[in-house]
Every structure is written in C-alpha cells, then in structure tokens.
A = this chain, B = another copy of it.
Amino acid sequence: MNPPSARPDDAHLIETRVASQELLRGHFLHAMRDTVRLPDGKEATREYVIHPGAVMVVAELPDGRLVLERQFRYPVQAVMVEFPAGKLDPGEDSLACARRELLEETGYTARQWARAGVLHPVISYSTEFIDIWFARDLTAGERQLDAGEFLDVFSASADELLQWCRDGRVTDAKTLTGMLWLQNLRAGAWTLDWVNI
C-alpha cells in the first residue's frame, strides 16, 4: 500500500543518467539514447523521443455539444476522432498554445478557460506531455489551417462521444482522457477553476 507519488525511499526504482547520445534528428522526430544506472547498479540503455509538449482543448458549445475533429493520422492509417490539440511552439505558454490551436484548427475563440490537468501519452519512449484545457463561451470564426493540414471540424454531444468511446470509434488516448474529465465534471464529482479572458 504505497502512496503513488515519488517518495524519499524510491531509490530501488530510480534510474540515473550516465551518458546521453543523439540517435536521430529528423524533420519531426528527435530521439536520444541514454545510458542509465539501474537501481541494482548495472547499466542499461533508454531510447526515447524528445517532444516539446502539447495541449488539448475540450471546447463546449452553448448547447453542451463538444467541438471535435476528424483527421487522418498516418501512423495508424485511420481517420481519428479527436479533441483539438497541437504542439507548443518554442517558448509558448500553454494557454496561449491552447487558444492558438483552437483558433487555427476550428476557428473558435473562447472567453473562458480552465486547465484541468496534464496527461503523458507514452511514458515508455517519449517526453511528451499534453496539458488538458477546457474552453467555453465560444465564438465561431474562420479557421487558419497550416499548409499541409487537412481536418474536418464537427460537433457531438457528450452522450454520443461516450458511445463512440465504448464502441471503439474513439480510440485516441488524449480524447479518451478528456472524456474521463468531462464525465466527472458533468457529474459534479470534479470541478475546474475558470478564468475569463
């Protein structure tokens, strides 16, 4: 019965860096191979992707419907249903990124924002984190897609989206995590601190 967060007696779990080597500097992927000291004193290698971090936006329309995207995701060769999301630009603040991505991808601006938390999509081989934002009091406008970006924007009710999470039409982990938040918020079990912009 251990508490979940890091504790002073976690030395039997923690790996420490001995050396670090760049494995790959691609157009998009940046990967490292570190040599680490294991808890038993032996050495091992850890290979992982360096990622700048990202945001996801759960944007609620006045009628409670949610702003969603359909986008072809090449690595999984499928059109995926997702909450809007995107990578942090260098030095960019998380909320600024959330506002920018929502506007660029969907055309919406929001007057109220709340940060719910953070998720780590792939803790075994990437440094990526995704800040989870909720947005409401939306105003529709023109989206501003990047060159080479193709996606449909649509809306669905929370009940429809939950049904799709259950039946396998939604399998994107960040979107599933957003639904855990949304469901507990709508049930009144969890709360958010909203800020007006």
Q: Residues of A with Cβ closer than 8 Å to B?
A: 1-2, 4-7, 10, 12-15, 23-24, 26-29, 31, 33-34, 36, 38-40, 42, 44-49, 68, 70-76, 78-82, 117-130, 148, 150-152, 154-156, 162, 164-166, 168-174, 176-177, 179-180, 183-184, 189-190
Contact = CB atoms under 8 A, between A and B. Distances in A.
Given A2-B70, A74-B34, A125 B15 contact: no
A151 B13 contact: yes
A184 B172 CA distance: 18
A150 B40 CA distance: 9
B127 A76 contact: yes
Given A10-B72, A26-B31, A45-B27, A166 B154 contact: no
A5 B169 contact: yes
Given A24-B24, A29-B49, A48-B75, 14 more contacts: A2-B154, A5-B79, A6-B78, A10-B70, A13-B71, A27-B45, A27-B47, A29-B31, A31-B31, A73-B120, A75-B126, A117-B166, A117-B171, A173-B173
A29 B13 contact: no
Contact of A123 (B73, B125, B183, B184): B73
